[in-house]
Structure 1
Amino acid sequence: MPSTTRTHRAPGARRLPAWGLAVAFPAALAGCASGEPAGAGASEPAAETTTQATEAAAPTARIALTYDGGVVVLDAQTLEQVADLPLDGFTRLNPAGDGRHLLASTTGGFRALDLGTWAEAHGDHHHYWTAEPRLTDVTYAAEEPGHVVVHDGRTVLFDDGTGQVTVLDSAHVGEGATPARELTTPSAHHGVAVELGDDSLLVTEGTEESRSGVRVLDADDQEIAASDDCPGVHGEAVAADEAVVVGCEDGVLVYSGGELTKVQAPDAYGRIGNQAGSEESPVVLGDYKTDPDAELERPTRVSLVDTRTGELSLVDLPASYTFRSLARGDDGEALVLGTDGALHVIDPESGELEASIPVIDAWEEPLEWQEPRPAVLALDGSVYVTDPATQSVHAVDVESGEVWTSVRLDVAPNEISGVPGGVGADGSHDSHDHGAHDDE
């Protein structure tokens, strides 16, 4: 069994969504630098940093894009640049879960990036604020920071270098939260974990050489379900009714109603390694690859897994796509950015390709997964598409099929993520750890 450290809630305590716990952070935010490994205990607060805040009439969504040497922050409505923050190394972006911060996977751990947009509860209404984005001193230490999963007011970090799982209250991630739960898998591996509303924890199992399955632990870290029938286990997505889908090289595992069910792919090798879920839909969108020997397979089919029935269906697309191509719209529609430059809209219930919206020029996936390639982000009612070739970002209205605004950047964008900046969004499905998924 994995080793664990656990802080229990009071009996009968109900976990509130992140915005119910603390939708507001004060303008003067004290950063906490975690010199110890994440979960080793609360660190000493760093020197207080004062941020000048400006009140806004409504929530202000912002998006962040990494490039070679930093992170650019844009206003999601106007696409005007708000900040350019220098940051060395290859950086990945993950929602922190509080509607304000992102977690940047950098050398040494997960570092909190404050996008400077938030809401404060005031009686029966809220006040909305903006400030200059900044890289905070809050870092959750990790040898190899990997997947980040946000769900139901919890943010779960996975350290691929040690196998350590750290569960945080999403509302306090930006402050340097003390871990609510910690666990170390028997062997370090490229893994992922998600905590559900009943405090059960699904975590992958594997080694540096291979990954084979998952375990589900209850609130007392006792195993309640397990399966080793998932070769090459990779990635996760949470669907409606807290059904969890985990990808395998021959289909998926579905955890629902306290049980793990294997859903077999129609091909002997049918790898699903990257998924996008929505709480508005019981169907999970995934990639689908069938050539185990390919140096770089460019698939033209995506998978749809119905968590109610355990059925897996495939949808043919007019072009290939990559692991940064998958997203879900506000109403649960399945979105795939193709190498033909179009945003393909799929009805997850019927599997019908409803629309193909031209956005950018045709492009080809680079051989190295770290290299920039077009990416997609669904946030606050719009869908954003990046184009490194032209150093541009485009905002798409899926319902009308229009590209309603675009901007040319001074840098080639790579990763993309964002925050809504207001009440009622915990960030859990801005990315479903988009940015944390890779194609390993």
Structure 2
Amino acid sequence: MQNPHVRRAGLGLIAACSITVLAACSSSSTPAAESSASTAPATEAAAAAGARVAVAYEGGILVLDGETLETVADLDSEEFTRLNPAGDDRHVMVTTSEGFQLLDTAAGTSGEPELTDIVFPADTPGHVVRHAGKTVLYADGTSDTTVLETADLASSDGMPETETIPGVEAHHGVSIVLEDGTFLTTVGDADGRTGIEVRDASGAVTATNDQCPGVHGEGTAENEVVVFGCENGALVYDGGEITKLEAPDQPYGRMGNAWVSETSPIIVGDYKDDRDAEGYLLHRVALIDTEAKTLDVVDLPEGVEYTFRGVARGPDDLAYMIASDGAIHVLDPGTGELTASYPVVDAWESPVEWQDPHPAITVAGDIAYVTDPAADSIHAVDLTTGEVVATGELDVTPNEIAVAAS
């Protein structure tokens, strides 16, 4: 077991920016999407859409142009849906009551967005993981894992070929497949979740760990080191070995979500030290060094709090957090310091339920997309300058968000 550490974030350089909205301007090099397609190959290439942003709202999904944030499509769906990038820079997995439904945003094409008829069946669909050219879907109601080649999403006219890895006992879990075929999956049942199991490409169990109560979330760092969050720390899988990292707060110091870069050895995780705390705002962050096998906890400055929707990795492997004060705060995972702050939305409070709309952030290249449910809008922020480069005024209240972009 490794010794935990506690650090406090310094404010470092705080760079404020004006919120002048330039609705049709962006520093992105991606060309703006055209509204019509052409049969001529050169024209079709020129008309191909750039990034697309999918925004879930009550009863539907908007698809927005990633540069202007204008609405490209408004698609009917269920009352509450979750959105996850499918991994191919074009499609989004929409979590519905039937399973994972495929949304074609038409990013990178001259086509029209479509909520397709392709549904990967799942009893209580949960986590979506993208890694090593595979998209992995987890069904909480059965603990079955569905694996498909990510590239097949674009090349197939119908349902892509899939492999189903049967589960053992139903629980809210997650799985991942590594480049060599190694399969990692959580272990649990109706009474709780306890740890992970590792299988080789033939299906043989090669490692297990049951010292991870409430195991939740997964992230893969540089060199395919995988981290799973626990209610008292984290598990790190590295080259066939599982290491348990203890949280500094015992018996409860929970990490349940991991924000990763596959070019960085450091994982940024959420952190909660009070099991009975009301609301969903968090004021501490976990930093896991997958090389040193250490878990540090950073205390954020007063007034800077976030939720599970509020953190993303972006340029230079930094972490970008839309906090309750309405600003994007830039966190250097290597030092635990906040290095900049960019005002974006008004201050906000914790949602009553986790499903309720509240500010969310996702990043594509140098652009962060931030939802503003209180104003029924969405903003694009250039992370190299902190400037709000576009704002989309919506006729609905945005909830979850996902971006499709190369």
Q: How far is 1:298 from its partner?
A: 2.8
Alignment match, 2:330? 345
- C-alpha distance 218-397 of structure 1, shift in aligned 2 (>3 A): same
Alignment match, 1:148? 128
- What does 1:261-340 correspond to in 2, within 5 Å? 261-268=243-250, 269-318=252-301, 319-340=304-325
AA of the residue aligned to 1:168: L
Q: Determine whether 1:135 maps to 2:115.
A: yes
**Unmatched tracts of structure 1, length 5 or more:** 1-52, 119-128, 423-440
Q: How far is 1:401 from its partner?
A: 1.7
Query: What is the rounded CA distance, in whole Å, between the counterparts of 2:390 and 2:164 in structure 1?
Result: 43
- What does 1:346-385 correspond to in 2, within 5 Å? 346-385=331-370
AA of the residue aligned to 2:81: T
Alignment match, 2:83? 93
AA of the residue aligned to 1:284: I
CA contact (8 A) 2:49 2:106 kept: no
Query: What is the rounded CA distance, in whole Å, between the counterparts of 1:117 and 1:373 in structure 2?
Result: 26
Alignment match, 2:140? 160
* Segment of structure 1 superposing worse, 377-386 or 197-206: 377-386
Query: What is the rounded CA distance, in whole Å, between the counterparts of 1:356 and 1:411 in structure 2?
Result: 28
AA of the residue aligned to 1:173: L
State the 4+ residue runs in structure 1 displaced beyond 4 angstroms: none
Identity %: 51
Query: TM-score if structure 1 supplies the norm length?
Result: 0.79
Alignment match, 2:92? 102
| Helix, strand or coil at the partner of 1:56 | helix
| Helix, strand or coil at the partner of 2:397 | coil
Higher relative contact order by CA 8 Å / sep ≥ 6: 1 or 2? Answer: 2
* Segment of structure 1 superposing worse, 289-298 or 190-199: 289-298
**Unmatched tracts of structure 2, length 5 or more:** 1-42
| Helix, strand or coil at the partner of 1:116 | coil
* Segment of structure 1 superposing worse, 235-244 or 181-190: 181-190
Q: CA RMSD in A?
A: 1.6
Alignment match, 2:28? none
Q: How far is 1:315 from its partner?
A: 2.0
Alignment match, 2:373? 388
Alignment match, 2:63? 73
Q: How far is 1:358 from its partner?
A: 0.8
Alignment match, 1:177? 160
Query: What is the rounded CA distance, in whole Å, between the counterparts of 1:116 and 1:58 in structure 2?
Result: 9
| Helix, strand or coil at the partner of 1:331 | helix
Query: TM-score if structure 2 supplies the norm length?
Result: 0.86
AA of the residue aligned to 2:211: D
Query: What is the rounded CA distance, in whole Å, between the counterparts of 2:137 and 2:315 in structure 1?
Result: 25
